């Protein structure tokens, strides 16, 4: 009996029969094919899945040797499998099994081998039909090849600025993927008012001379460039193409041509033609890939043509560009700088404070805000004039800029109000900092107006604050400072000094 040579312990003959029956029933339920093969390659067991996969009955298969349906197996159990399994492993490999109707089924085989008494072997193989997987792998491989072509052409288009070298590189890349015997590349020539031959591969000189300038209906590439659509046909078929041109191609063995236009903004700017010999047709995948290549080259070729034609003009306008750059820089600066005091304006403060708030929360450091207002500034304007008032604002801003910390930010909030953004300052330290600035202002003699005092509101950023609520808090603190007699510092409306 098959199991007599195995080291399997059974309590009794009945136990043996029950366990063997259970083992066979389990193998029948496996959706993959199961084979037992002796060292001569003869089958001693197959399950129902194996019969379905190969199209034979169980009785037919049990008369087979594995070589009858596995063309890769040279005979019997592969010696490499035996040697590998001797070390306690499994063998996993791919092969083909021949169906009863003759077609080959790609399969994956998982095998283990047991040495029997008398130096004989028995292999147990679980075999899976991988037809769908192989198809997917082929599709993935084809997709990878297509993407590789497009990527390589993209690499060429980004690094190559010479149109002739670019076209040669594109042809070489396509030659590694497409199956073609000849290649033609046309670009629309503005001077000739028509497509002109730029590059060829695999064509004899006699044909090249005939197709250098491409009038309508000279070859399928001519049809494609004229119509703006893909053209694909055979030289052996009856068409509107010039018979002498068609015959010339046939004389050299060329039979099939596939051509795609290169379009830019619905205008033909060039085209690619692939030509084959000996009635070798192009595949559907070639059409799709060639169309994608033409699409990728479209913008690049148009840009290279524009670069070439505009190079002189660009040199002449270099000074203008530099001037515009300078003007733009000034405009950008003016958009974020207060024109009178030359410090941040309100817009710049709001933009940068939002960034600083996010940074302080991410890095977990305190952030305080000071709002300063020049006391009785209206009286300064009334008594000394607006020009003196402007000069006082400039001097006030300069005094603050020269005395705040290097990493603090100063902005004019509007009128005579100024904001200081102070990172890494807790509330208590921010109040002391504000009071030092208040004393500095009070002790300073301004050139045209003499002594000036300022009221200051202080607040620290809380977890619940946004930019609007934070500014409202510091504004309330400033209001309290002015209400309490001015020339003082308030923190969130609570009297500090």
Rounded Cα–Cα distance for residues 38 and 53 (Å): 21
CA atoms within 13 A on the CB side of 496: 26
Annotated active-site residue in 257, 356, 395, 416: 416
The token pair that represents 357 in the structure block: 């708030």
**Chain position carrying tokens 């001797």:** 86
Handedness of CA 115, 116, 119, 121 (dihedral sign): negative
| Helix axes of 163-175 and 131-159: crossing angle, nearest 10 degrees | 170
Q: Which residues of 25-47 are buried (b: 16+ CB within 10 A; e: fewer)?
A: eebeeeebbbbbbbbebebebbb
Instruction: Find residue 456's DSSP bridge partners.
Output: 372, 489
Q: 3-class SS at 257?
A: strand
Query: CA 181 to CA 174: how far, in whole Å?
Result: 12
Specify whether 416 is catalytic.
yes
- Write out the DSSP string of 49-117: HHHHHHT--HHHHTT-BGGGT-TT--SSS-HHHHHHHTTT--EEEEEEEE-TTS-EEEEEEEEEEEEET
Q: What is the 3-state secondary structure (H, E, C) of 433-472?
A: HHHHHHHHHHHCEECCCEECCEEEEEEECCCCCCHHHHHH
Q: Pairing relation of β-strands 489-491 and 454-460?
A: parallel
CA-based torsion, 430, 431, 432, 435: positive or negative = positive
List, in sequence order, the alpha helices (H) in 228-374: 243-251, 284-316, 318-336, 346-363
Active site residues: 416
């Amino acid at each position: 009996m098959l199991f007599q040579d195995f080291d399997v312990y059974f309590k009794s003959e009945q136990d043996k029969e029950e366990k063997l029956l259970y083992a066979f029933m389990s193998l029948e339920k496996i959706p993959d094919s199961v084979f037992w093969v002796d060292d001569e390659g003869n089958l001693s067991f197959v399950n129902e899945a194996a019969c379905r996969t190969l199209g034979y009955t169980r009785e037919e298969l049990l008369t087979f040797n594995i070589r009858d349906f596995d063309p890769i197996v040279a005979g019997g159990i592969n010696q490499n499998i035996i040697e590998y399994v001797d070390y306690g492993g499994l063998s996993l490999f791919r092969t083909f099994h021949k169906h009863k109707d003759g077609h080959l089924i790609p399969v994956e085989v998982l095998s283990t081998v047991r040495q029997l008494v008398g130096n004989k072997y028995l292999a147990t193989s679980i075999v899976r039909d991988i037809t769908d997987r192989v198809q997917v792998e082929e599709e993935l491989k084809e997709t990878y090849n297509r993407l590789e072509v497009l990527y390589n052409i993209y690499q060429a288009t980004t690094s190559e600025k010479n149109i002739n070298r670019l076209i040669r590189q594109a042809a070489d890349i396509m030659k590694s993927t497409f199956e073609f015997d000849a290649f033609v590349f046309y670009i629309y020539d503005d001077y000739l008012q028509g497509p002109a031959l730029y590059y060829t591969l695999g064509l004899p000189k006699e044909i090249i001379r005939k197709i250098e300038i491409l009038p309508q209906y000279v070859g399928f590439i001519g049809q494609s460039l004229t119509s703006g659509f893909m053209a694909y046909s055979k030289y052996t078929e009856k068409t509107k193409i010039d018979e002498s041109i068609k015959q010339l191609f046939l004389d050299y063995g060329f039979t099939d041509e596939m051509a795609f236009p290169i379009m830019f903004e619905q205008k033909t700017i060039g085209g690619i033609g692939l030509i084959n010999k000996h009635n070798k047709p192009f595949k559907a995948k070639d059409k799709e890939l060639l169309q994608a290549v033409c699409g990728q080259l479209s913008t690049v070729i148009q840009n290279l043509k524009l670069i070439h034609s505009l190079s002189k003009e660009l040199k002449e306008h270099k000074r203008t560009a530099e001037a515009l750059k300078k003007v733009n820089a000034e405009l950008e600066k003016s958009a974020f700088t207060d024109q009178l005091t030359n410090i941040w304006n309100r817009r710049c403060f709001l933009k940068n404070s939002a960034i600083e708030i996010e940074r302080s929360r991410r890095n977990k450091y305190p952030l305080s805000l000071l709002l300063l207002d020049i006391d009785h500034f209206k009286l300064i304007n009334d008594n000394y004039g607006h020009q003196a008032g402007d000069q006082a604002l400039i001097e006030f801003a300069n005094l603050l800029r020269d005395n705040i910390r290097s990493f603090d930010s100063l902005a004019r909030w509007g009128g005579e109000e100024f904001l200081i953004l102070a990172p890494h300052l807790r509330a208590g330290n921010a109040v002391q900092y504000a009071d030092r600035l208040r004393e500095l202002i009070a002790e300073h003699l301004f050139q045209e107006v003499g002594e000036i005092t300022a009221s200051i509101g202080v607040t620290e950023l809380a977890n619940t604050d946004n930019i609007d609520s934070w500014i409202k808090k510091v504004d309330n603190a400033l209001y309290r400072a002015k209400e309490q007699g001015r020339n003082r510092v308030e923190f969130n409306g609570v009297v500090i000094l």
